[in-house]
Amino acid sequence: MKKHLSYAPTPPMGWNSWDCFGASVREEEVKAHADVMADKLSAYGWEYVVVDIQWSEPEASSTRYNDFYPLNMDEYSRLIPAENRFPSAKDGNGFKPLGDYIHAKGLKFGIHMMRGIPRQAVHQNTALKGTDKRARDIALNNICPWNSDMYGVNVDMPEGQLYYDSLIELYASWGVDFIKVDDIADSKIYHDAHKKEIAAIQKAIQKVGRPMVLSLSPGPAALKNGTFFQDHANMWRLTDDFWDHWDALYHMFDRTAEWAPYVRPGNWPDCDMLPLGHIGIRAVDGGGGDNWTRFTQNEQYLLMSLWTIFGSPLMFGGTLPDIDDFTLKLLTNTSVLQMYHQIVERRQIHREAEWIVWEAQSETDTYYAFFNVSDYKMPIPEELKALVEGNSIEDLWHGTTNLKDEAWMVPSHGVLLGQVND
């Protein structure tokens, strides 16, 4: 049907600044990551470079926000980059120069925005573009509970839609290819998605014409809104922020099993960024600090297998300039990435205390992931091996062929991700 969103025909892959730098990333850091992505990752499909939350806040320094601090704003109540952090944005250039830099590398540029209009605009009652109405007229008395920047916008008024149009126009003029909208897929205090504002933002994107992938945060997105999300966004988060804890990873099995029927070209339910490699440089959420991921190597194989067989976007959260060899290989396994891009249908087919099994199908091949979620290294039980149609599978992470009459051992918190061999 014509209603399918045409952007994002395959799941978006890129890097996002949050897991490393929280709200505080700086222009030179963004460029350094773009450089490495172009050099080492773009050949494998990695392409988006995303500047996360509060790029208009001059004093942002970590994942903790400075409540009620002034933000950099233009004459039409629109937030613009803090020039101390993004020097190229001076003279009203906004993110255009940074976008140009990234595009010149053959990559794509993404930014974050909060649902709504700045509270400072509302209390100062500043102007809007294209109307005599002012900020106070279109603001709603609803907030994000975890960030004090914005009020909701009343899109039942034409001027509310106009405000979102003016934002998306500005972003298009900067060359933005990807927008991550926050406080919108699930509200912790209003207990639903802000659906009217989602529809208004997608409408503004359709109007402006530039292909911009729309990503909605935070989760958990509600399943009952599944078809609404399919019609209005390319990605939406399945859980609250994901960090490097086994509990959070284990919980993702529930959510991916529920959301599998909604995955299709243009729609990629989102398991969140990959907190792998070196993270937490200026991020204090998640409890890890400036350090290497707390996931074991086996947990990392398991994570990547779940994200790829399910079809989640892949947004790397670690640093790129000092990426280690293990992590780099994890992100550039061509067998796994080929599976990832070619799957047309997937689902969880077995679940009990120790084992979870997924099956996926491309036009030509069948794949299985056997996840050992127990605390022990164990062979896959015979009745689960019997689910595989064929005599052997190829282990996509290690390149070995496993015959069905062998014992298929899987480490604790590990995975056997296999392609049916015949």
Shortest reach from residue 322's CB to its own copies, in Å: 35
Would you state the structure tokens that stand for residue 156, as one six-digit string? Answer: 């039942």
Shortest reach from residue 345's CB to its own copies, in Å: 6
Biggest CA–CA distance in the chain, Å, is: 76
Residue placing its CB nearer to its own copies in the complex, 260 or 320: 260
Residue placing its CB nearer to its own copies in the complex, 290 or 352: 352
One-letter amino acid at 271 equals C
Residue placing its CB nearer to its own copies in the complex, 96 or 195: 195
Shortest reach from residue 417's CB to its own copies, in Å: 17
Q: Is 136 exposed, middle or buried (0-12, 13-18, 19+ CB in 10 A)?
A: middle
Strand order in the sheet with 178-182: 235-236, 213-216, 178-182, 108-114, 48-51, 13-16, 314-316
Please state, in angstroms and rounded to a whole number, the distance separating the CA atoms of residues 7 and 211. Answer: 6
Residue placing its CB nearer to its own copies in the complex, 103 or 350: 350
Measured CA to CA in angstroms, residue 148 lies from 66, 82, 115, 182, 283 at distances of 8, 17, 12, 13, 19
Do the Cβ atoms of 273 and 280 come closer than 8 Å? Answer: no
Shortest reach from residue 68's CB to its own copies, in Å: 5
> What is the distance in angstroms between the CA of the first residue and the CA of the last residue of the chain?
35
Residue placing its CB nearer to its own copies in the complex, 175 or 266: 266
Please state, in angstroms and rounded to a whole number, the distance separating the CA atoms of residues 414 and 259. Answer: 22
Please state, in angstroms and rounded to a whole number, the distance separating the CA atoms of residues 344 and 311. Answer: 9
Residue placing its CB nearer to its own copies in the complex, 125 or 391: 125
> Which one, of 206, 2, 216, 195, lies nearest residue 112 by Cα?
216
Residue placing its CB nearer to its own copies in the complex, 15 or 151: 151
Query: Which residues of the shown chain bind its own copies in the complex (CB under 8 A)?
Result: 1-3, 67-69, 119-120, 122-125, 136, 139-143, 145-148, 189-190, 223-224, 226-227, 230-231, 257-258, 260-262, 345, 347-349, 359, 361, 366, 389
Shortest reach from residue 381's CB to its own copies, in Å: 16
Shortest reach from residue 230's CB to its own copies, in Å: 8
Residue placing its CB nearer to its own copies in the complex, 297 or 421: 421
Would you state the structure tokens that stand for residue 152, as one six-digit string? Answer: 């909701």
Residue placing its CB nearer to its own copies in the complex, 87 or 226: 226
Shortest reach from residue 397's CB to its own copies, in Å: 22
For residue 315, what are the β-bridge partners? 14
Half-sphere exposure of 144 (CA within 13 A, CB side): 25
Do the Cβ atoms of 65 and 147 come closer than 8 Å? Answer: yes
Q: Is 228 exposed, middle or buried (0-12, 13-18, 19+ CB in 10 A)?
A: middle
Shortest reach from residue 142's CB to its own copies, in Å: 7
